[in-house]
Amino acid sequence: MSGAGRAPAGGWRTATVAGVRRPLARSVQLRLDVPDRVDHLPGQHYVVRLTAADGYTAQRSYSVASAPDDPLVELWIERLDDGEVSTYLADVVEPGDVLDVRGPIGGWFVWEGDEPALLIGGGSGVVPLVAMVRHARAIGAGDLLRIAVSTRTLAELPYAAELVAAGALVGTTREAYGIRPAARLTAMDLLPLWEPGQTSYVCGSTPFAEAASQLLVGMGVPPASIRVERFGASGEPVPPI
């Protein structure tokens, strides 16, 4: 694991909510107009900070789903029942609201579009991978990506149609999907997707990320080529150590 490099980083901005969609239960897709925006790399995240009338603040980080060439920044937020920030964003935010945001942040879990990559996402862990898929589509680099995602059911998978259209192998753990029975991802699923020279990007809950990265290591994938982003207890995809 070496240091990657100085990825783009932006300061605090006052973003305007341009669009709010709730395509799935218990989550929300926010489209933000960020003034004086620093373009992100696919895989980076933003911090959203909420301020109460008495000055109390709460902030959490969310992965960007949009490609860098999108004029808006799209965040996908999974609603956690005890989530102080995610419940507000999922239940209260309307178009026209303003939000303090900071980003882009993070320079390790990024794909710049110029090297082969294996993307493995679990549940809402697919969000930063969607930014990579969209970027690949924008620059005509879709051939560089191999994708496997895991979800309870297809109906619960964020961006399911886009991921399927990009050729993602979809592992469903609570229902059969196509010829595949309900099961977690296995080495049998991942082996056909792996090629020497790939960088692997694994994102999901801590148990998912641990299991998927150990599957790769067990397949002989060099650990130094595996980049992992785990969701903490707070549900946010920001992974210092």
The single residue listed with the structure tokens 């960088």 is 199
Tally Cβ neighbours within 10 Å of residue 80: 17
Residues that bind other proteins in the complex, under the rule CB under 8 A:
1-7, 9, 11-12, 14, 49-53, 56-61, 84, 88, 92, 97-100, 102, 105-109, 206, 210, 213-214, 216-217, 223-224, 226-230, 232-234, 236, 238-241
Q: Give 11 or 140: the residue with its C-beta nearer to other proteins.
A: 11
Residues 6+ apart with CB under 8 A from 214: none
Tally Cβ neighbours within 10 Å of residue 181: 9
| Least distance in angstroms from the C-beta of 165 to other proteins | 29
Task: Give the phi and the psi of residue 59 in degrees, each rounded to 5.
Answer: -135, 145
Q: Give 113 or 239: the residue with its C-beta nearer to other proteins.
A: 239
Q: Give 163 or 212: the residue with its C-beta nearer to other proteins.
A: 212
| Least distance in angstroms from the C-beta of 207 to other proteins | 9
Q: Give 4 or 191: the residue with its C-beta nearer to other proteins.
A: 4
| Least distance in angstroms from the C-beta of 241 to other proteins | 4
Phi-psi region of 82 (alpha: psi -120 to 50; beta: other; left: phi over 0): alpha
Instruction: Give the DSSP H or E segment for 136.
Output: helix 127-139
Q: Give 8 or 116: the residue with its C-beta nearer to other proteins.
A: 8
| Least distance in angstroms from the C-beta of 155 to other proteins | 28
Six-digit token pair at 17?
């909510």
